[in-house]
Amino acid sequence: MEDRRTIALVDCNSFYVSCERLFEPKLSGKAVVVLSNNDGCVVARSREAKALKIAMGVPFFQIKDHVDAGRLIAMSSNYTLYGDMSHRVMRTLSELGFPQEVYSIDECFLDLSDAVEPVATMAEARRRVAHDVGIPTSIGIACTKTLAKLASDLAKEHPAGVYAFPPPGPELAKILRNVPVIDVWGIGPRIGKVLLELGVHTALDLARMNVHTMRERYGITGARVVQELRGVRCIELEEVQPKQSITSSRSFAGQVTELDDLRAAVASFVERACEKARSGHRAATALTVFIEHNRFDPRAPDCSGALTHHLSVPTNLTSELMHYASEMVRRLWRPGGRWKKAGVLLLGLVDDRSQQTSFLDQVDRERGKALAAAVDEINNKHGRLVVRCAATCLSKDWRPLMERCSPRYTTRWDEVPKIG
DNA sequence: TCTGGGGTCCTAGGACCC
DNA sequence: TCTGGGGTCCTAGGACCC
């Protein structure tokens, strides 16, 4: 009754470090970490660095001794490079012709249900990525995404780099008995702690938990994890989902206290976020601005805050959003505040069919005015007007009209009350 | 004094992921 | 002294409507 699928998870090994190694071969075989922005904390570790017991996310100053002693090499990050390399890996994998879900910068799922020999196919995929792009990978194969993810962890210990779980049954149970529950995809530190207290120590214990209990305690997500571990597919492969939100934020090197400094920072975030939105042909229907105090300093004054502004018309124009963001910062700011981080979120993203929006905005004001005049004329003649809300009508002068139409940039006929 | 039930939408916050 | 920057999904509760 169950239709069995075969899912693979392809995971790039120590991805950022592997990227750096491509351009600095002398880093091979060495303990290497890549640091976050401002060289704040560790975001990637080579196998050798993991052997030094360097945890993910530790602040740099805590591992500085290793670096000073020559045991460890720390690199600043280069996200443009990683993005580019990721693109190449994903493209190489897509050429195999299987449905693909790019899950993160260094991972993707492949639906191998139609593959005749999944393990051999993935061995070839792995060889190809290594040869064409130069990035080492680990590939896990199983019948659900959650199991495939676990299998890819185990694949790292296999010399072949590809590891397939047996179908659900005693043999799989034996393997899951050796996997700590905290290593299961979807079980974070919070839920993991509670599970341990309940005596649920391994992935097998979790798979044997009562689904209804999990549903009650941890909601639908908890129940899904249990089912997936049993081999019941609950999480589907999702091919290219358009983004639903875009964030741009940074921690400040020092503390920011002045309104103008805060404003300048937020302005740059708005600019970046808008660029991202435009390049993905997305437009926001809401804008959130947040500022945060130093959460690591218990004595720091709590001056964190966030405001959300809803837009009547979706936009990805820097100038427009900057206007709102600036006002929001002014409202969030208060004297005596010491801020450590700030950012903006573009929310409620919709498809931006008006790729010429910014063009129109800059050079087509005149045409907008002419259109508005034409509308006036028709209004005067007919009393009310039927307007085609096409993307070409998006000049600022048409905004009041657009507000009465569909909230999205859809092309449709709509009734609009008399303007002016 | 009695005081429905079902639906939607929105928001804030929590938990998780890489 | 120094502690990242993105994302997603789910839930609960309030407002509002009929």
Q: pLDDT truncated to tens, each residue of chain A (420 aa)?
A: 456 899 999 999 999 999 999 999 999 999 999 999 888 899 999 999 999 999 999 999 999 999 999 999 999 999 889 999 999 999 999 999 999 999 999 999 999 999 999 999 999 999 999 999 999 999 999 999 999 999 999 999 999 999 999 999 999 999 999 999 999 999 999 999 999 999 999 999 999 999 888 888 888 888 999 999 999 999 988 887 788 899 999 888 888 899 999 999 999 999 989 988 888 888 898 899 999 888 888 788 888 888 888 887 888 889 889 989 998 898 888 888 888 889 999 998 888 765 444 443 443 344 444 445 544 554 444 433 333 333 233 333 344 443 333 332 222 223 333 232
CA–C1' A217–B2 (A):
38
Q: What's chain A's Rg over C-alpha atoms? A: 26
What phi and psi, each to the nearest 5 degrees, are found at residue A299? Answer: -95, -5
CA–C1' A290–B13 (A):
15
Q: How many helices (H) and strands (E) does chain A have?
A: 15, 15
Choose among A57, A12, A11, A68: nearest CA to A33: A57
Work out if A76's Cβ lies within 7 angstroms of strand C.
Answer: no
Q: Could you tell me if A377 and A368 are in contact, meaning their C-beta atoms sit under 8 angstroms apart? A: no
CA–C1' A348–C16 (A):
21
Nearest residue for C9, CA–C1': A221
CA–C1' A245–B9 (A):
19
Residue whose entry in the numeric block shows the structure tokens 């008399």: A418
Cβ < 7 Å from nucleic strand B:
A 103-107, 149, 184-192, 286, 308, 310
Residue whose entry in the numeric block shows the structure tokens 């004329």: A377
**Smallest CA–C1' separation from A193, nucleotide:** B15
Q: Could you tell me if A311 and A322 are in contact, meaning their C-beta atoms sit under 8 angstroms apart? A: no
CA–C1' A219–C16 (A):
27
A318-332 and A259-279 helices, crossing angle to 10°: 150
**Smallest CA–C1' separation from A191, nucleotide:** B15
CA–C1' A306–C13 (A):
20
**Smallest CA–C1' separation from A194, nucleotide:** B15
Name the strand (E) or helix (H) holding A63. none
Here the tokens at position A91 are: 């493209």
**Smallest CA–C1' separation from A185, nucleotide:** B17
What phi and psi, each to the nearest 5 degrees, are found at residue A254? Answer: -115, -160
What phi and psi, each to the nearest 5 degrees, are found at residue A207? Answer: -60, -30
- Write out which nucleotides of chain B lie closer than 7 A to a protein Cβ: 11-12, 14-18
Q: What pTM was estimated for this model as a whole?
A: 0.79
CA–C1' A141–C18 (A):
52
Task: Give the contacts of A73 (CB within 8 A, at least 6 positions apart).
Answer: A27, A30, A31, A32, A33, A67
Work out if A286's Cβ lies within 7 angstroms of strand C.
Answer: no
CA–C1' A276–C7 (A):
14
**Smallest CA–C1' separation from A221, nucleotide:** C10
Work out if A83's Cβ lies within 7 angstroms of strand C.
Answer: no
CA–C1' A286–B5 (A):
33
Burial class (CB in 10 A: 0-12, 13-18, 19+), A322: buried
Work out if A280's Cβ lies within 7 angstroms of strand C.
Answer: no
